[in-house]
A and B are shown apart, each in its own frame.
Chain A
Amino acid sequence: MITRAILLTALVGVCVVLVPPATPWAQVAEAPPTPDTLVRHVRQALGRGAVDRARTITAQTTAPPEVTSMALALVEIFEGRPTGARARLTALVDAGDTSDALLELGLLDLREGKREDGRRRLDQLLQQTYDMTPENSFRMARAAYALGDVRLANTAFQRTGPLPLQKADMETTWGDMLFEKHQYGEAVRSYRAALDADPGWIRAHLGLSRALAGEDLVTSGAALETAGSLAPSHPDVWLLTAERRLVADDKPGTRAALDTVAAARPNTPDEWAWRAALAHAEGDEAAVEAGLRRAFDLNPLFADGYRVVGAQAARAYRFDEAAAYARRAVDLNDEDAGAHADLGLYLMRTGDEATARVALERAFRLDPFDTVTFNLLKLLDTIATFDTVESGPFVFKFPKDEAAVLAPYALPLAHLAYKTFSARYGFTPDGPILVEVFSVHDDFAVRTLGLPGLVGALGACFGRVITMDSPKARPPGTFSWQATLWHEIAHVFSLQVSDYRVPRWLTEGISVFEEHQYNKAWGRELALEFARALSMNRTFGVMGLPDAFQRPRDLSLAYFEASLLTEHLVSINGDAGLRALLSAYAGGAKDADAFAKAFGRSVDEVEASFKAFVDREYGALARAMADPAGTGERGGGRGGRGTGGRGATPQTLDALKALAATAPGSFVAQWSLGQAHYQNGELAEARTALERAAALAPMAHGDTSPRPLLADIALKESDPARARRELREFLTWDHDNVEAARRLVALAREAADEDAEAFGLRVVADIDPYDVNAHVGLGRRALARKDYETALVELSVVLALGPPNLAEAHADLAEVFLGLGRKDDARKAALKALEQAPTYARAQDLLLAAIGGRS
């Protein structure tokens, strides 16, 4: 489960570009086919999904019989009648056709598992000497692509010049090849070029939809809809629809889509493969095997059958099963690079990197152009340089320069999480649990999905494998890596307890809930946004959550609301209820049955009680966050919407005063008034309004919180103690605001406020563990209170980071070792200090103390 795509939502918001409405092909004036152009016109009609037109123009043609026969073969292939097509094509080839018929027959051979025949025919086509006309180049490209010669295919595609009536076909086929190699950007370019040439080209719309699915669901969905509107019965449209329905866990929808496929193009391996995938989703193993058998009857080398089912297993986080299907795919067709690549990917997700490498290397030898395979192999080389730290059920892998800094904190936290969750869920997960931490975000993305990107994600869990960004992967203060680790370990439990059948809303809800249980600020970053949504009746509710997780724009709030639902479920029947719920899912129950088993309530009843829970817990905050005057104004922000940070005009200030007076319970009204007063230099008035705002929404974060401004006011009024209190309160909610924490540390130092300083230092070290001064501060404080164990951790990290003063760092450690009674270590540390500074009196004294009376 990928953690918190908060940034992704924003990205999608920016990137949405809707596909312009396609021009219906029928409106384009076209010349009727001549005998010479019949085959191209038939291809064009089929490309537009107009199979009736293809039949009509073939029936009406005056072309010679061999041309008509070729055209009819194309129609038969499209309609899934390969026997008739094969007979026609064979006759044409036997009569000496070495172009279209030879190509189509070779491709048909491959689709039917007649690998040797197919290769022979396509090789024959490639080895002919002929003019490189655009048509010949395109045929060569298709043949080379089918034979796996990507380089030759690409060259041939590039050299294909003007291609009347076939440009869209050529660009789409090129796009398909690029898509298969995971070069999505290039594929999109090809599909768009195809659509420029012919807006009605259905496979181009479908290709575009597939290629955009990973980054832009809206445009992707629009492309599929366009294809459907242009060619409502096109089997490829319905095949992709079936795939989308299955991904959305809409099993009836999937079945209906596949039935439509079968009506338009019956009995194809693809249809049966997807029926097998559907059966897998339904837990019907017999039907899986039956479906696959039907697919293999049609194509004995159809490794894609296993691959499609394997992908479905992987979508359900059943990576061991996915790997097993991929193995069967490899056994069926050892020359299928994609099958080997799948096996490598799934094995990585089970944590078996050694075997994954073998599979990926085989995939790479077969197809060196597959981007994911290349990325994963390169990543495995990187991971091979990591430090491995085995600890109890965990195997951590850290980049070499981070292990000594992160391990001392990550390991105890992971063990605590494991212990906490083992108790709550009454479960011991399968292990070992592999946790890989990446200091480069794109490495994390490649480890997770095989491709760079994944901008909004911080961590991911595959059941026994956790991948995550290290704090180095993003600017300091961007996130709490500890919260990410806690969140992902919670996934290990919810996934495994439910035998990987937990719905996404619940596993994410549990993980965010668990964050909040451990640290009241974790998992509550969006409290104000949620309250705002609640005030506008825009929350999802129990029944709306699954769909909300399908919409990138709603994802962040869906995480939050799912955590509240989890909290509510726990409030009904305690941990036992949660355990029973997960067990019900493990037994194959769906939401309604699972709720009944765990809580004795229907979904509607849970919906009603959840609504009451939310109103009780967040009703007051929702009222505080509601638009006070119907202006659509949202929560405040520093710098001041409305005043532009230049001070409020008297009119604005009067209006804000009036608003605040009429809406004393409005956070927005109080915050806006406080800000306006502050900008006018009216500190006392500002403080009063901001205090009211802070009381209304104590958990406000970042720029929406009045507390940093209250701290500023306190400093201006020479009340640094109040400033420290405000910042500290702010940080109890805005837990990863390293800038505020550093500010607090500085203020605390000036005032010798040791407690506040320690608090601030802890926040800094947690969020930016590379801040050596924070560790120095924490270590020395621990040393001063003779907490030698803590001091040892902190001061060891100091040494690993490269301390500002090496002599002092070694002397600190010597003192720690003395405190721990480790005199020999103390002696060594003191000598290291003296190596840097031989006259360092403190180190000299520590050396003498360490050796006792030995001198």
Chain B
Amino acid sequence: MRVRRHAWVWAGVAGAWLLLAASPAAAQPARYAVLVQGASGEPAFATQHRAWLDQMVTTLRDKFGMAPANVIIHAEQPRDGEHRATADLVRATFDRLGQTLQPTDVLFVMLIGHGTGDSASAKFNLVGPDLTVQEWEALLKPVLSRVVFVNAASASFPFAAGLTGDRRIVITATSAPAQRFSTIFAEAFVQALNASAADLDKNNRISIWEAFTYASRLVKQSYEQKGLLATERALIEDNGDGVGREATTATGEDGTLATMTYLDAVVEARPTDSALQMLLQRQEVLTTDIDELKRKKASMPSAEYEAAWEKLMIDLATVSAEVRKRGGGL
């Protein structure tokens, strides 16, 4: 049975506190990124796509602290330290990563540019021969780590079904074969990773789910403000069934893995203050109680639930304020 997404959100937060409170320092998972800026077709797109690529590089390196060497760049016009966005060189990158990445690691892949075709023939346009969705799947196969694959190009919809798999989050800029016009999802996704408003649960981190939903909103807003019919609606697929969902779709079970996946590193702390340790333990108990209360919500009279909720919130707020006062973070 699948766990509902909201419960996972909570579990994720609770897990973070557990680390903060008691765990010994664990080895940080390695984080890698492969950013591919494909063939642009015309100068205006070349400028635009390069700008988005640069913004993403800056975000990964500066905001999320990803090691520069782990951010592998394939560009239409590569600069120093970058690779050309050709099929052969991309293949070589994934060959190396397949041998390097461990199951606990995270690989972020983002394709910026144009795509063509539909279903099995879908391609991402590279410099020279393109790679089809099956070829991308073949490239990912040896990679054991968790994979976040964002195809921000036009005609990217088939990649959701084509790349689905265990421990994989696939995001496509489009949600139907007919959506073949140039896209702006890449820009929106970069903005989302940098927007504090994207942090829906206010844990000071932006999960892939949060970035996806916020970026989807930005795309929708952009078309609306121009008075245009939206020609792209992004999709996320992370439960392995190959059927994605849009950010605003009420149904669909995708999003669970994305909610727990971040591109930044977990900040660990080892409190030595015993009073702080006690407060953190109290926080943990309260979060468990809150989680329990939420599970019971459907079976409780609403007034009773609200009273219990308010009491727990006040208790948690009081404890958390004390934790913060003692320099304990959240």
Residues of A within 8 A of B (CB): 475-478, 738, 742, 768, 770-773, 776, 804-808, 831, 834-845, 847-848, 851, 855
Task: Find out whether the CB atom of B197 lies under 8 angstroms from the CB atom of A839.
Answer: no
Q: Considering the chains assembled together, what is the distance between the CA atoms of A855 and B313 in angstroms?
A: 11
Complex: chain B residue closest to A742, CB-CB: B225
Task: Find out whether the CB atom of A805 lies under 8 angstroms from the CB atom of B200.
Answer: yes
B13 at the binding interface (Cβ < 8 Å): yes
B91 at the binding interface (Cβ < 8 Å): no
Task: Find out whether the CB atom of A841 lies under 8 angstroms from the CB atom of B324.
Answer: yes
Return 22 A-B CB contacts under 8 Å, by A number. A475-B226, A770-B224, A771-B221, A773-B221, A805-B198, A805-B200, A808-B197, A831-B309, A831-B310, A836-B200, A837-B201, A837-B202, A837-B203, A838-B13, A838-B316, A839-B320, A840-B202, A841-B324, A842-B202, A844-B321, A845-B317, A847-B313
**Most central of A839, A843, A844 by chain B CB within 10 Å:** A839
B327 at the binding interface (Cβ < 8 Å): no
Complex: chain A residue closest to B214, CB-CB: A804
List the A side residues contacting B290 at CB < 8 Å: 838
Q: Considering the chains assembled together, what is the distance between the CA atoms of A410 and B148 in angstroms?
A: 47
Residues of B within 8 A of A (CB): 10, 13, 195, 197-203, 214, 217, 221, 224-227, 287, 290, 309-310, 313-318, 320-321, 324, 330
Supply 13 further A-B pairs (C-beta < 8 A) apart from A840-B202, A841-B324: A476-B227, A742-B225, A772-B221, A808-B202, A836-B200, A837-B200, A838-B10, A838-B287, A841-B330, A844-B313, A848-B317, A848-B321, A855-B318
Q: Considering the chains assembled together, what is the distance between the CA atoms of A842 and B324 in angstroms?
A: 11
Complex: chain B residue closest to A834, CB-CB: B313
Task: Find out whether the CB atom of B225 lies under 8 angstroms from the CB atom of A841.
Answer: no
Task: Find out whether the CB atom of A804 lies under 8 angstroms from the CB atom of B197.
Answer: yes
Q: Considering the chains assembled together, what is the distance between the CA atoms of A132 and B226 in angstroms?
A: 58
Complex: chain B residue closest to A837, CB-CB: B202
**Most central of B201, B225, B309, B318 by chain A CB within 10 Å:** B225
Top 6 closest pairs, chain A to chain B, by CB: A475-B227, A844-B317, A840-B202, A837-B202, A805-B197, A837-B201
List the B side residues contacting A835 at CB < 8 Å: 309
List the A side residues contacting B201 at CB < 8 Å: 807, 836-837, 839-840
Task: Find out whether the CB atom of A771 lies under 8 angstroms from the CB atom of B225.
Answer: yes
Task: Find out whether the CB atom of A839 lies under 8 angstroms from the CB atom of B202.
Answer: yes
Task: Find out whether the CB atom of A844 lies under 8 angstroms from the CB atom of B197.
Answer: no
B284–chain A nearest beta-carbon distance, Å? 12
What secondary structure prevails in chain A residues at the interface with B?
A: helix
List the B side residues contacting A771 at CB < 8 Å: 221, 225
List the A side residues contacting B313 at CB < 8 Å: 831, 834, 838, 844, 847
A646–chain B nearest beta-carbon distance, Å? 15
List the B side residues contacting A848 at CB < 8 Å: 314, 317-318, 321
B78–chain A nearest beta-carbon distance, Å? 28
B263–chain A nearest beta-carbon distance, Å? 19
Q: Considering the chains assembled together, what is the distance between the CA atoms of A773 and B199 in angstroms?
A: 16
Q: Considering the chains assembled together, what is the distance between the CA atoms of A842 and B10 in angstroms?
A: 18
List the A side residues contacting B227 at CB < 8 Å: 475-478
Q: Considering the chains assembled together, what is the distance between the CA atoms of A293 and B215 in angstroms?
A: 72
A851–chain B nearest beta-carbon distance, Å? 7
Residue from B197, B214, B320 in contact with A841 in the complex, judged by beta carbons closer than 8 Å: B320
A112–chain B nearest beta-carbon distance, Å? 57
Q: Considering the chains assembled together, what is the distance between the CA atoms of A648 and B195 in angstroms?
A: 43
List the A side residues contacting B224 at CB < 8 Å: 476, 770
Q: Considering the chains assembled together, what is the distance between the CA atoms of A657 and B330 in angstroms?
A: 66
Knowing A476-B225, A838-B313, A844-B317 are in contact, say whether A807-B324 is a contact too (CB < 8 A).
no
Complex: chain B residue closest to A804, CB-CB: B197
Task: Find out whether the CB atom of B217 lies under 8 angstroms from the CB atom of A847.
Answer: no
List the A side residues contacting B315 at CB < 8 Å: 855
Q: Considering the chains assembled together, what is the distance between the CA atoms of A843 and B195 in angstroms?
A: 19
Task: Find out whether the CB atom of B330 lies under 8 angstroms from the CB atom of A839.
Answer: yes
List the B side residues contacting A478 at CB < 8 Å: 227
Q: Considering the chains assembled together, what is the distance between the CA atoms of A804 and B200 in angstroms?
A: 8
A476–chain B nearest beta-carbon distance, Å? 6
List the A side residues contacting B287 at CB < 8 Å: 838
List the B side residues contacting A837 at CB < 8 Å: 200-203
Task: Find out whether the CB atom of A841 lies under 8 angstroms from the CB atom of B202.
Answer: yes
Q: Considering the chains assembled together, what is the distance between the CA atoms of A462 and B1 in angstroms?
A: 63
Q: Considering the chains assembled together, what is the distance between the CA atoms of A475 and B228 in angstroms?
A: 8
List the A side residues contacting B10 at CB < 8 Å: 838
List the B side residues contacting A804 at CB < 8 Å: 195, 197-198, 214, 217
Q: Considering the chains assembled together, what is the distance between the CA atoms of A806 and B197 in angstroms?
A: 9
Q: Considering the chains assembled together, what is the distance between the CA atoms of A844 and B317 in angstroms?
A: 5
List the A side residues contacting B200 at CB < 8 Å: 805-807, 836-837
Knowing A475-B227, A838-B287 are in contact, say whether A845-B202 is a contact too (CB < 8 A).
no
**Most central of B197, B221, B310, B317 by chain A CB within 10 Å:** B317
